[in-house]
Amino acid sequence: MSATNIGISRLGQVAITIQDTNRAVAFYRDILGLRLLFTAGKLAFFDCNGVRLMLESPEKPESDHPSSILYFVVPDINAAHRQMKAQNVHFEDEPHLIAKMPDHDLWMTFFRDSEQNLLALMSEVRQASS
């Protein structure tokens, strides 16, 4: 294999920094509805449609920072937004149109998890055919 083709085929795992394992597990399991795979000490692993999501407490001060933004795909962004707000999730904004694509409209809304990491919901809304 050449240096430009090392064989990466998909994203296997994403890590998110957390402060409180129990609180974070409750958020990702009970609010987002992700399936908890297992816990190991201060680590928790969830299945996100074949991608493993790892929640971890920072071992070093330089690792103690918010994560990259994860974008969770949902079929109905408005319904997901309403349901999560009813569970007291803090949203940064309302669902809004990001871009009109040839065959769908891309909608997003941003929220904070229990550890103050910024996350997003996204929905690709198919355009009605004329």
- The model's pLDDT over 12-52, given as tens digits with 9 standing for 90+, comes to 889 999 999 999 999 999 999 999 999 988 899 999 999 99
CATH classification of the domain holding 61: 3.10.180.10
Which residue(s) pair with 47 in the sheet? 35, 52
pLDDT at 1: 47
- Between 126 and 66, residue with greater pLDDT: 126
* This prediction's pTM: 0.78
Instruction: Examine residue 109 and state whether it is found in any structural domain, yes or no.
Output: yes
Instruction: Examine residue 64 and state whether it is found in any structural domain, yes or no.
Output: yes
- Domain of residue 43: give its range: 13-126
Domain total of the chain: 1
Which residue(s) pair with 43 in the sheet? 40
Instruction: Examine residue 3 and state whether it is found in any structural domain, yes or no.
Output: no
List the one residue out of 55, 59, 31 whose CA is nearest residue 117: 55
The span from the CA of 121 to the CA of 84, in Å, is: 11
